[in-house]
Amino acid sequence: MLPRTARQLETTLLSSRQSLPRPARLYSSPSKKLNAPATATAHLPRTDFPAFFPPPQNVVHDQDSAASSSSHLLEDFLTRKIPYTILPTPLPSDVPLNDRERWFTDSATQDQAAVMDACLHNLYDVPRAKLIFDRLRTKKGSAILHVSMYNLVMESYLAMAEKDAQQTAYWVEELWKLYTDMENGNEQMSPSAGTFALMLQAWHKYNPTSSNPVRSKLALHPIQLLENMLNKQISVVDVVADRTIASSDLASTVLMSLSQAAINLDRVAIVTELSRAQAIAAGEESTTDDEVTPVLRHKALSPEEIEQGVEFPAEIPFNIKLLRNHLAHIAYARRVLPDDIGARQKHLETSVYEIARERMKEEYEHFETLGINTENRLKDSTLQSWMWQWHQDLRTRLESEIKLIAAFEAKMLNRHDQSTQLLSPYLALVKADRLSYITILELMRLQGSGGVNHGMKTTRALIAIGKAVEMEYKAQMCRTNDIAIPTMTGHSTNFFSALGYSNLQKRRMAAARHMQDGESWTTPWSQAVRSKIGGILVECLMDVAYVRRQREDQVTGKSETEDQPAFYHAYEYVRGTKLGILKLNPAVAERLSTDRLRETIHPRHLPMLVAPKPWMHIRQGGYLYNKTSVMRFKESIEQETYLQKAIDDGKMELVLAGLDVLGSTPWRINKNVYDVVLRVWNSGERMGKIPPAVYDQPAPEIPENYEKDLQARSVHLQRQRSYTQAKANNHSERCNVNYKIEIARAFLHDKLYMPHNLDFRGRAYPIPPHLSHIGDDLCRGLLLFADPKPLGERGLWWLKIHLANLYGYDKASFQERADWVMERLDDIADSATNPLDGRRWWTKGDDPWQVLATCMELHAALQSEDPHSYMSTLPVHQDGTCNGLQHYAALGGDAVGAKQVNLAAGDRPSDVYTYVGRLVDQQIEADAANGVEMAKLLQGKITRKVVKQTVMTTVYGVTFVGAREQIEKQLKDRHDIPDELCWTAASYLAKKVLTCIGDTFTGAKHIQNWLNLCARLISKTIAPDRFIDAIAAPKKKRGRPAVAMSRFKKEQMTSVVWTTPLQLPIVQPYRKHARKQVMTAVQSVFISDPSSPAEVNSLKQASAFPPNFIHSLDATHMMLTALECHSRGLTFASVHDSYWTHASTIDSMAEVIRDTFILLHSSDVLGKLHQEFKERFKGFKLPLIHLQNKGGNLVKMLSESGVRIVATPEQAKSLESIAAIVEVSETGSSAIGEQPIGSEGEPISDQVFLEELDEEDDSIDEWEGQRKKAAAANIAREAKATRELLGKFVDVVDLLPPLPEKGTFSVQEIKSSPYFFS
């Protein structure tokens, strides 16, 4: 029978995984030639690759001096004043658009620009693009306008002139017009090298003596153009080498005419420069000095290039590529990624879809040869073969659909104005063939996300697909542009010296500029457009993709089949609101946890085969062609704008260099562990956190009285639901593991690299989502460093300790841990040699897969002749013990706390959790003695485990409710407390635990409060340049307080912003984004417009600031450590507060960790933050009314932290509700400014709001008088306190509490604490 055969085949495929061809094939095309360059890699000298950083041995010899001097430099670096990035606060949404556009483009404009971009691409619809462009460029000074946009438009005009013979004159004329406008300043946009390259081409093609003359009054002769260029100090060579000059012939012509012009102008230097360029392009002059061999001339052409008819460089006298390459070498300071080395990665990135297609097709045809006829194809084939089928159908469908859409839109455009939103230009950017793959692959990838079983939320899917299309378009552009890729941004033996820094900066900026010049302009799509595009694609897919399902009727035994959509759309209700979801047909979902998946993974989600492209700019770095952002932005353009500015200003060098260091660590797959994983996987059994193939728990039974008893029914339903959920979880876990195995297999014989980027606090994350060292135990167990280092005596010792740590034996002293391991050598050997058939000791450890990997490493080392010279690749970890609290303790100088988190030395590690547990226990004892029932119940039951999570999460600002929940869960797990009492007990305990933590980390507590208060105040302020407009805004209702209050709410636009010691500006993204419904083909989708301004969410701003600040600090520590480790030649990787290196280099890393931590915390971090707030938020006004809240808590807290504001005696009288923080001035000076709300008075000068204005009292009276007259009786009813507060403002800087006092602990002690990181 057929089904049986298929099943057998499937198992065969599964079990034979190991013997499948090596994965290199996965990424190579069928042609063998391509592999050749890749294998050549091995022969390259080590120094050349990875060439990003100098080889360690160069540094080693002066390591000591470097280390000691670097420590001074680092100290200087950290203690200097941090340069801030300052941008204006966003304006509220009711401010007219024009005023807002300089920094933050709104999405309507964004959409226009994106449509224009699409219309220009391949000259899809240049006339339309021109219409849009002409509209856009009226917005002078808007952030969206950029010279490269102008250049692209002009390039298209020029191309149109050529393409459309009827209109040549028109386009040429428009081109010159635009140029003239740029030159004469009308556009406020200065021409660039690219502009001149275009104009020279225009001249060349259409000058009066050319074969196709176009008369234009505005046309300029090259002489004039050259003059203009020189005026703007634009390099002629840049012009000649510009991207827009398509052929060497053309470039040569341009060069000649420029030379001629230069001769005419008698500019000898220019003539020389040009002739040298010519020599380079002709290959007559070595492009570089001896160190680097000129790459291009000797490079063999790739098969593709031969196919595309690229000519051999040597055969033509003028090769523009040579010149461009030369320029790249200069820009990148000679560190250019050789083509052959990048080839596989490039191929991987650019040909994903082709590769996927080949594989699916292969699979499909394979089934064909097995004689499975088309009739059963839908039912019996594999996932790949299905996908191939869907793809065929979808592609055809899309081709016709896109035509329909284009026709429809054209009709609409005729009927209506231009304002109709267009989609067809976007759809034309990427071929239907690829659109089809993108759609299918993205849906497969997102399966199981968002908590949806076998599916996903529609919104996420549509946006993701839209975005994938956009990415594909941009990746294609990258490929077309084919800019040389740098392998470094420059390096320095010391990152922290002024010289080292400015070197980094110079080099990175040159490289970034080179990259930018080489790329044509493009612009991101708005979320709405993405979801609409996604909607169209998904709708079509659902319409054409089918699978055949078969089932047997349970009664008749008759088998039934039905063709069903492979993907379908449905709605669910979540607490009464609808939620649209896309789901996979169950038949498809089943395959995802069994079939092979590699076709479904985009390289954008895989590790890389070469070291990542160094980060040069906000979207420039990481993968070679796929653009990724250096920071993961929340829906906040503010964050993006700040970062952009900081990078432009050259402040981000160390952060970017840090990311490059993290990305440069080569990894490989642990083959031995992989083999074990695979065996477990294929066995389908549950082990080491790998879920079973078939969920192994029994379903709940239906109770007898289910039919009659409403209560029994609801209980059963609940059980049923949690069972279903557990089962679904099992399935999705299984899918996840499948992904990991698949990726591991693909990279089994390769070095791999993890490109990193940042979250908004500056923490670094590897980009590949499935398999990276940040992943779970399984991922980590599968990864090894690629480069081995000899263990040495210490290394061996550390390896043992590492094993003990992973197993869970981490509370003892180092030596005890090492001894513990020695006592278990037998088990270890058994685990290493006989992982599955032996005693399986490793599976009982905390992190079984890593334990296994370590067992294998240790065993191998011990078995080797000389364990000390064993070449080890296993990463060994040093973890901060409760890192957040460590930072808090260091900031606050908490002696007790410092001891508990091992900042202070001890002979064995302290454990905060145990400590807090004991404290709580003591209090309980006391309570029990006093007869408190609950205490008696809980006596002796407070283990470390009960309090652990709560202690950990206090750093994140856990509240009572959260703590209670955690503790309740733990208590329930113990099973020795009656279930119904757990909740009450948890309430009781939560209070105790929170108090105990507060008592232990008093300094931390104060700092947390201080941070929280600052954020609370800042997020309620109004920026100085907005202030006057803000209070004058509500004119209609003559100072009705309600209006004023809501006005203040609307004017709350200030996010908390600060700068880390590495100069990274951090913007908290929490705002109250308004969301709108957007219609798509599938359903309407509810999304926010990130570019529309929104008030801050001050609650979130305040509660998230303390953890975010601490995280920005630990991120800084990590980056400093990474940079320093790199300088010292150590391999380094990190998972936030867990730092990894080779076993042999743990000692040096430990030293670095301590040095950087001490220096960081010796640099008065908080003082600097305070100072920054004072400067950054200078003049920001806080309406006093915001200080009032229920119970006067805020005022109380402010008062307790020592805040006092100065007020005149009169003012003081009216300020009773905030009396606790008012200080009456004798001199009559006041920090409180007053301004009646909404009055249409004359503009108010700043001084009114500042202190020391004698006349101020008069002015108050005057205002009051006016108001009384104007206002009717109802205003008189206003409550006194509020009226008094409403019109009053204070500078937020005056309200910021002084820093809490620091405790006695000195961070220097950390130097001698062995268990600080362990």
Partner DNA sequence: TAACTACCTATTGATATAAGTAATAGAGAATAC
Partner DNA sequence: CTATTCTCTACCGACAATATCAATAGGTAGTGA
Which residues in the 414-453 window bind another protein by CB under 8 A? 450-453
Contacted entry of another protein, DNA, none for residue 453, CB cut-off 5 to 8 Å set by kind: another protein
Task: Tell me how far, at minimum, the Cβ of 657 lies from DNA, in Å.
Answer: 21
Task: Tell me how far, at minimum, the Cβ of 573 lies from DNA, in Å.
Answer: 4
By the rule CB under 8 A, 568 interacts with another protein: yes
Task: Tell me how far, at minimum, the Cβ of 807 lies from another protein, in Å.
Answer: 17
Note whether 660 and 615 are within 8 A (CB).
yes
Among 49, 124, 170, 1086, contact with DNA (rule: CB under 7 A): 1086
User: Which of the ranges 146-154, 712-720, 869-877, 1199-1207 carries the binding residues for another protein, by CB under 8 A?
Assistant: 712-720
| Closer by beta carbon to DNA, 827 or else 1051 | 1051
Dihedrals phi, psi of 399, to nearest 5 degrees: -55, -45
| Closer by beta carbon to DNA, 17 or else 1049 | 1049
User: Which of the ranges 298-306, 632-640, 910-918, 1004-1012 carries the binding residues for DNA, by CB under 7 A?
Assistant: 632-640
By the rule CB under 7 A, 987 interacts with DNA: yes
Question: Is the bond preceding residue 50 a cis peptide, omega within 30 degrees?
Answer: yes
Task: Tell me how far, at minimum, the Cβ of 309 lies from another protein, in Å.
Answer: 49
By the rule CB under 7 A, 949 interacts with DNA: yes
What element of type H or E holds 1181?
A: strand 1181-1183
- x-or-dash pattern for DNA, window 510-529, by CB under 7 A? -----------------x--
Task: Write out the binding residues for another protein, residues 906-965 only, by CB under 8 A.
Answer: 933-934, 936-937, 949
Note whether 821 and 800 are within 8 A (CB).
yes
Among 88, 684, 957, 1314, contact with DNA (rule: CB under 7 A): 957
Contacted entry of DNA, another protein, none for residue 725, CB cut-off 5 to 8 Å set by kind: another protein
By the rule CB under 8 A, 553 interacts with another protein: yes
d(CA 1136, CA 1119): 10
d(CA 1311, CA 905): 9
Residue 475: exposure state from Cβ atoms within 10 A (0-12, 13-18, ≥19): buried
| Closer by beta carbon to DNA, 951 or else 1296 | 951
C-alpha dist (Å) from residue 1147 to 59, 432, 812, 851, 1136: 18, 56, 19, 21, 19
Which candidate, 1014, 1015, 913, 1000, places its Cα nearest to that of 1303?
1000
Note whether 561 and 1074 are within 8 A (CB).
no
Catalytic residue (choose from 205, 457, 583, 948): 948
d(CA 654, CA 82): 13
- x-or-dash pattern for DNA, window 1175-1204, by CB under 7 A? --------------xxx-xx----------
What element of type H or E holds 756?
A: strand 756-758
The strand pair at 1205-1207 and 1222-1224 is best described as parallel
User: Which of the ranges 98-106, 192-200, 613-621, 1067-1075 carries the binding residues for DNA, by CB under 7 A?
Assistant: 1067-1075
By the rule CB under 7 A, 453 interacts with DNA: no
d(CA 120, CA 123): 5
Contacted entry of another protein, DNA, none for residue 1266, CB cut-off 5 to 8 Å set by kind: none
d(CA 1296, CA 1134): 36
DSSP character at residue 1110? H
User: Which of the ranges 60-68, 711-719, 839-847, 1200-1208 carries the binding residues for another protein, by CB under 8 A?
Assistant: 711-719
Told to judge if 99 belongs to the known catalytic residues of this protein, a careful annotator would answer: no
Q: What is the 3-state secondary structure (H, E, C) of 1146-1162?
A: HHHHHHHHHHHHHHHHC
Cα angle 1142-1148-1153, degrees, rounded to a multiple of 5 = 100
- What are residue 1142's DSSP bridge partners? 875
By the rule CB under 7 A, 733 interacts with DNA: no
Catalytic residue (choose from 111, 750, 1137, 1291): 1137
Task: Tell me how far, at minimum, the Cβ of 1223 lies from DNA, in Å.
Answer: 23
Task: Tell me how far, at minimum, the Cβ of 958 lies from DNA, in Å.
Answer: 4
Catalytic residue (choose from 164, 433, 675, 879): 879
Cα angle 1146-1147-1153, degrees, rounded to a multiple of 5 = 80
By the rule CB under 7 A, 1306 interacts with DNA: no
Contacted entry of another protein, DNA, none for residue 1223, CB cut-off 5 to 8 Å set by kind: none
By the rule CB under 7 A, 806 interacts with DNA: no
Task: Tell me how far, at minimum, the Cβ of 1103 lies from DNA, in Å.
Answer: 6
Note whether 1297 and 1198 are within 8 A (CB).
yes
Note whether 892 and 1110 are within 8 A (CB).
no
Which region, left, alpha or beta, applies to residue 845 given φ > 0 means left and ψ of -120 to 50 means alpha? Answer: beta
Told to judge if 321 belongs to the known catalytic residues of this protein, a careful annotator would answer: no
By the rule CB under 7 A, 2 interacts with DNA: no
Task: Tell me how far, at minimum, the Cβ of 460 lies from another protein, in Å.
Answer: 13
- Please count the residues of this chain forming the interface with DNA, following the rule CB under 7 A: 77
Task: Tell me how far, at minimum, the Cβ of 580 lies from another protein, in Å.
Answer: 9
Contacted entry of DNA, another protein, none for residue 194, CB cut-off 5 to 8 Å set by kind: none
Note whether 102 and 143 are within 8 A (CB).
yes
Task: Tell me how far, at minimum, the Cβ of 962 lies from another protein, in Å.
Answer: 11
Among 1108, 1138, 1145, 1318, contact with DNA (rule: CB under 7 A): 1108
Which candidate, 500, 489, 490, 491, places its Cα nearest to that of 70?
500
Dihedrals phi, psi of 1181, to nearest 5 degrees: -100, 135
Task: Tell me how far, at minimum, the Cβ of 1222 lies from another protein, in Å.
Answer: 31
By the rule CB under 7 A, 1085 interacts with DNA: yes
- x-or-dash pattern for another protein, window 720-739, by CB under 8 A? xx--xx--xx----------
Among 914, 1088, 1199, 1214, contact with DNA (rule: CB under 7 A): 1088
Cα angle 1036-1042-1045, degrees, rounded to a multiple of 5 = 100
d(CA 113, CA 36): 43
Contacted entry of DNA, another protein, none for residue 1263, CB cut-off 5 to 8 Å set by kind: none
Those residues with Cβ within 8 angstroms of residue 885's Cβ, 6 or more apart along the chain or in another chain: 897, 900, 901, 912, 951, 954, 955, 1001, 1004
- x-or-dash pattern for DNA, window 562-581, by CB under 7 A? ---------x-xxxxxxxx-
Contacted entry of DNA, another protein, none for residue 427, CB cut-off 5 to 8 Å set by kind: none
- x-or-dash pattern for DNA, window 463-482, by CB under 7 A? x-------------------
Among 560, 999, 1252, 1261, contact with another protein (rule: CB under 8 A): 560
Q: Kindly state the tokens that stand for 578.
A: 């609808």
Q: Kindly state the tokens that stand for 42.
A: 């091995």
Told to judge if 1280 belongs to the known catalytic residues of this protein, a careful annotator would answer: no
Among 54, 294, 303, 450, contact with DNA (rule: CB under 7 A): 450
The per-residue DSSP string of 801-819 comes to: HHHHHHHT--SS-HHHHHH
The per-residue DSSP string of 887-920 comes to: HHHHHHT-HHHHHHTTSS--SS---HHHHHHHHH
Cα of first residue to Cα of last residue in the chain, in angstroms, is 60
- x-or-dash pattern for DNA, window 1043-1062, by CB under 7 A? -xx---x-------------
**Burial call 965-997: b when 16+ CB within 10 Å, e when fewer:** bbbbebbeeeeebeeeebeebbbbbbebbbebb
Among 134, 284, 365, 572, contact with another protein (rule: CB under 8 A): 572
Rg (CA), the chain: 34
| Closer by beta carbon to another protein, 371 or else 978 | 978
Residues binding another protein (CB under 8 A): 450-455, 549, 551, 553, 560, 562-565, 568-574, 578-579, 581, 583, 585-586, 707-711, 713-714, 717, 720-721, 724-725, 728-729, 933-934, 936-937, 949, 978, 980-981, 984, 987-988
For the annotated catalytic residues, the residue numbers are 879, 948, 1137
